Chain A
Amino acid sequence: MAYDLSFAQDVYKNSEMGHWIKMCKQCGVCAGSCPFGPHWEYSPRQLFQLVRAGKKEEVLKSHSMWMCTSCYNCIVRCPRSLPITHIVHGLARYASVKGYADPNQITNRFATQIFWPNIVGTGRVGEAMLTMRLYFADGLGAGIKRGLEMKDSALGMLMTKRLNPIPLRGKIKGYAGFAAMIAKAQELEAKREAGA
């Protein structure tokens, strides 16, 4: 296994809340708290230990961080008060930005390629468009199949006026300013993530 001694330092400095990883006492409370626990290749506890051991590839290529449902169970239970949810989110983001995360990992793809462009494209979530883009991300055939599987739910939502029959939505009034704000924030974020 390859060790990368600069990896831990970089995570402490540039991954969101990453410096907290130093404080973990490896008790495993977080691992026992995850709703998707059995589906994590490495539990949060293990991820943190792997970061400290410099196992860059093992951490960043793992699908584990994408198993976080944002339930915040771990965060309120950790005896060392680590902001675990945010550390895990941070590692997912770090892996995505540095190009290690599997681009086909479904939550990575949904969050970075579909969800984020959806909200910054108009200023608000367009639920109908979001669902369509997710279903059709693997092409027309897969989209129709998934759509048919979910057609009863979708129909129910449409009938009860909880899904917009027209997936397009307008931009917020102050969109120009909003977009400029996001662009500036992204510029600063990119600098910080590069360790500048």
Chain B
Amino acid sequence: MKEYTFFPGCSSEKNASAANMEHSVQAMCKILGIQLNEIDDWNCCSASIGYAGGGQLPRLSMSARNFALAQQQRGMTDLVATCAACWLAMREAAERIEHEPEVRADVNVALKEANLSYEGGIKTRHLVEVLIEDFGWDALRAKVKKPLTGLKVAGYVGCQTNRPFGIAGESFENPLYLDKMIEATGATAVPYPKKVACCGGALMFTEVEKSCALVRDLLQCAVDNGAEVIVTPCPVCQLNVEVYQGKINQLFGTNFNIPVVYYSQLFVLSWGGSWEDAALNQQVVPAEVLRRFA
């Protein structure tokens, strides 16, 4: 059993938009022998849109409080995130706290109000990096009990799992790990030229039509390349690409109805987990095309 400190983030809470990611991640980790120790009483990472209301210091302090709690509760154990936006916000905060003495000093003045302090040192990682670096491709392949043979999958990496930090060792323009994950389940990764294009991110809330136009192109590209399902590591991508299909069909006269799942859901299913373990009962666009493997 390998242990990590865990930051789930707001969208992974019960009854939140990425509850299906969280459920399948826990099932995946159980099969793999990973124990995720959630930071007790964590707060929001400030998300990708927090800059406008929060500015620099309030925004960075939010991550700093999580680091301080993590250190208090779990020492210097690696801190793992599953949400792209959380991971990015934490990596950014960690870098700035470590490399900018002024930021570090100011953050600690703020933290002191909560009787906390943090000087840096905890490594912030994405769960995908844990799978690749601490377990490796052979170990992931060895878990397969029901290979997803014949399933055609478009691997949609999106933005924030890929830039500005990205999964260690991958390129920004053509990261390969997601295709490799798809292939590791026995499924087929179809070519997907839109794999690192933007879904609109948080602007789906406010600029609905403009964001839907981006997602329309993402969906069309997947369909054109013969995908039966889209897979992604990012909860913002998953939400935008799955849940807005009805709206997109309305806006553009299209007829999309393609399931969008997380890599963790594919792994759990191919590793012999149940439909519920994989949280496939929590899809807004039903993933019936996966039923034959359940």
Contact = CB atoms under 8 A, between A and B. Distances in A.
21 contacts: A69-B202, A69-B203, A70-B160, A72-B88, A76-B164, A77-B172, A110-B206, A111-B51, A116-B52, A119-B10, A150-B247, A156-B243, A160-B281, A161-B14, A161-B15, A163-B16, A178-B43, A183-B113, A185-B57, A185-B60, A186-B57
Contacts of A132: none
B203 A162 contact: no
Interface stretch (B128-136, B193-201, B257-265): B193-201
B106 interface: yes
A90 B54 CA distance: 11
A183 B50 CA distance: 15
Given A73-B159, A162-B282, A116 B106 contact: no
Interface in B153-199: 159-160, 162-164, 172, 197-198
B16 to A, nearest CB: 6
A186 B53 CA distance: 10
Contact of B197 (A35, A77, A150, A180): A35
Interface string B21-64: 00000000000000000000111101111111111111011100
A38 B50 CA distance: 24
Nearest to A180: B113
Contacts of A41: none
A63 B107 CA distance: 31
Interface string A98-130: 000000001110111101110110011101001
B1 interface: no
Interface residues of A, number: 68
Contact of B109 (A106, A178, A188): A188
Given A35-B214, A177-B114, 11 more contacts: A76-B172, A89-B51, A111-B51, A125-B11, A149-B247, A157-B243, A162-B20, A185-B60, A185-B107, A186-B57, A189-B57
A112 B52 contact: yes
B61 A181 contact: yes
B99 interface: no
Contacts of B17: 127, 157, 162-163
Interface of A: 16, 35-36, 39, 67, 69-73, 75-77, 85-86, 89-90, 92-93, 96-97, 106-108, 110-113, 115-117, 119-120, 123-125, 127, 130-131, 134, 149-150, 152-153, 156-157, 160-165, 172-174, 177-178, 180-186, 188-189, 192-193
Determine chain A's interface SS by DSSP, over half rule.
Answer: helix
A149 B214 CA distance: 19
B284 A153 contact: yes
B19 interface: yes
B41 A174 contact: yes
B51 to A, nearest CB: 4
Interface of B: 10-11, 13-20, 41-44, 46-58, 60-62, 65, 88, 106-107, 109-116, 159-160, 162-164, 172, 197-198, 200-203, 205-207, 210-211, 214, 243-244, 246-247, 281-284
A76 B114 contact: no
A174 B55 contact: no
Contacts of B15: 161-165
A71 B243 contact: no
Given A35-B200, A106-B207, A180 B16 contact: no
A73 B164 CA distance: 8
A182 B50 CA distance: 13
A184 B109 contact: yes
Contact of B52 (A72, A86, A111, A161): A111
A139 B48 CA distance: 26
Given A93-B55, A149-B247, A162-B18, A177 B206 contact: no
